[in-house]
Amino acid sequence: MTNPLLQDWTGPFGLAPFDVISDDDFEPALDIALDAHAREMAAIAENPEPASFVNVIEALEASGRDLSKVLSVFFTVAGADSNPARQALQRKFSPRIAAHYAEITANKSLFARVDAVWEARATLDLTAEQERVLMLTRRGFVRAGAALTGQDESRMKEIKGRLAELGTAFTQNLLADERNWYMALGQDDLEGLPEFLLDAAQEAGREKGLDQPVITLSRSLVVPFLQNATRRDLREKAYAAWAARGANGGDTDNRAIAAEILALRQERAALLGYPDFAHYKLETEMAGTPEAVRDLLTEVWAAARARAEEDGKALEKRLANDGIAGPLEPWDWRFYADKRLKQEHAIDDAELKPYLQLDRMIEAAFACANRLFGLEFAPVDVPLYHPDCRAWEVTRDGAPVALFIGDYFARGSKRSGAWCSAMQAQARFPQEQHPIVINVCNFAKGAPALLSWDDARTLFHEFGHALHQMLSDVTYESISGTSVARDFVELPSQLYEHWLEVPEVLSTYATHAETGEPMPEELLNKVLAASQFDMGFQTVEYVASAMVDLAFHTGPAPADPMQRQAEVLASLGMPRAIGMRHATPHFAHVFAGDGYSAGYYSYMWSEVMDADAFAAFEEAGGAFDVERARALEDHILSRGGSEEADVLYTRFRGRMPGVAALLRGRGLAA
């Protein structure tokens, strides 16, 4: 076998040999890997020996190694460094992969053997972790439709295959809209734009083959443009394009795709006996029910909307002072909020950004992990999938822990947003394997690369996910790292954001790009004092998206998602000058796959815990309290999905939190 995707990988931690893998390798490798996995499944299902934990559950855990290798490489490059060939392969692969796994969960003989182990569990002398893996395996089969028969079984396979096709199409349409739109800036268009933004826009122009600055739909470019551009007409043009992603008509329009996805999810839930998709999806989450989610979001919404309306009135006065009759529009909010920030807190992004160098913020994230968990990071020179990527070997007390890869810069071949994924998850079965973890971001390129405060928070956020993967210490891969309830998975990432705001971290690592001087104490104090600034806006745009997501999946699927979106926003009393953080046609969290469908609320559910969890450090010896750090690792970061999330959190904190800590943290408490 000469296909590099299927050979033994001998690089550090078994890293894929990216320097010898070509796009032509993916399809033949997938063919072979799918066939091999199907044979493994047949062998487990047809094993004449009595069903046991070893010959069923552990056999399932040990299967599909080649398939995991192929898919981990392919989906890494398809998301972070796409091209026409990879997009075509993704459209071809998605329904095939969905059909493959649908065949597995529909295998009656295989499910019967899983069920036999489940029925005999009391006599098997299993460890707590093995009992958990058994329960999750059986539950996964049942929720995938393993108990269905006849026409229902056939229809479930069709639904899964079609959903895979639609999710891929949604993602690629969004990428196309983000890649194809840009606004070239002439000399008369630059008023108000700070130097860091001009540098980043010039770099974006070079990527487009132009010798002039351009604004793209990358958040790291369009947001600072909306904050700083004095040309209101250009702000409106940029905002309109940003808001219209996925809704521009033609081949890349996502509105019909969203409607079909929602209808299929509803049908899928009905086949499994659930009243709607939200009840199906939330059954396995901490929240449990749509009602619990709605209660949380409603409680936060009331406080957030009141603050946003108060802030909106103040911004509209500034609009009037500029001789504009109003009303305040969505392309005005960030511009006037930024003016207000500069006036009330004397903070200017152009003044702050030179202190937030990407390399120094990476150092800061590493240094906090070292003080909290004893991790050490050393750069390594290994072949990666793009020249912008960097890698570090992670060790503790000289012993290997993980390989960490950072891919930080925006480019046309990368989908928007930021994410963390594991090309290889931690496990001790069937053999010891250390995690290979990737953080992917979309920061503006520069020399040096400078971050906004929001960018720096994103870096810490994604690194919190990476720590969840790196510090995992379980036996079975299926419960490793971030394999936890969706509304628990954001706890480690959102909690880690708090260390960015620790004064000693900023005073050490927030150093000026030109002078090397640390951030002045006065500026540092202003940054921290302004941490709750414009929180009404930020909370409203997020909760509105979460409410729309919940409404889409509760009750009958809407025939027209855009109409349903409008109805939900109207019922909430959505302020006219604030848009949803993710409107339906570009709501990739919800429509690119099932990950956050009926689950976008998860960030806020986790925030209830992260505010309370960081308070545990503050109540003890401070942000770097050794005992609290050890408890965080022992009870949460190392345990993956080995126990229920509320059990893990209660073991760390002694109790479950209420919403009060979140409201205080956002400055929204009465």
Q: pLDDT per residue over 398-423, tens digit each?
A: 999 999 999 999 999 999 899 999 99
Burial (CB count <10 Å: 0-12, 13-18, 19+), residue 519:
buried
Please report, rounded to a whole number, the percentage of residues in the chain having pLDDT higher than 90.
96
Name the β-bridge partners of 391: 405
CA 77, CA 100: separation in Å to the nearest integer? 22
Tell me what the mean pLDDT of segment 140-166 comes to: 96
pLDDT above 70 (res 1): no
The question of whether 462 is a catalytic residue gets the answer: yes
- Residue 331, pLDDT score: 98
Catalytic residue chosen out of the listed positions 316, 462, 497, 633:
462
What is residue 409's predicted lDDT score, i.e. its pLDDT?
97
Share of the chain above pLDDT 70, in %: 100
Give me the DSSP letters along 101-121: HHHHHT-HHHHHHHHHHHHTG
SS3 362: helix
- pLDDT exceeds cutoff 70 at 443: yes
In the chain the domains, ranked by start, together with CATH numbers, are 12-147 (1.20.1050.40), 181-245 (no CATH), 251-347+535-600 (1.10.1370.10), 354-529+603-665 (1.10.1370.40)
What pLDDT is recorded for position 515? 97
In this prediction, residue 661 has a pLDDT band, given cuts at 50, 70 and 90, of: confident
**∠319-586-159 over CA atoms, to 5°?**
155
pLDDT at position 167 is 97
Q: How many whole angstroms separate alpha carbon 334 and alpha carbon 531?
A: 16
Q: Note the pLDDT of residue 660.
A: 87
Supply 547's token pair.
């409410």
Tell me the per-residue pLDDT of 103-127, one tens digit each, with 9 for 90 and over: 999 999 999 999 999 999 999 999 9
- Would you mind telling me the total number of residues written for the chain in this entry? 670
Residue 665 has pLDDT above 90, yes or no: no
Q: What's the whole-number mean pLDDT along residues 136-149?
A: 97
Note the pLDDT of residue 11.
84
Measured on CA atoms in the order 424, 488, 218, 585, is the torsion positive or negative? positive
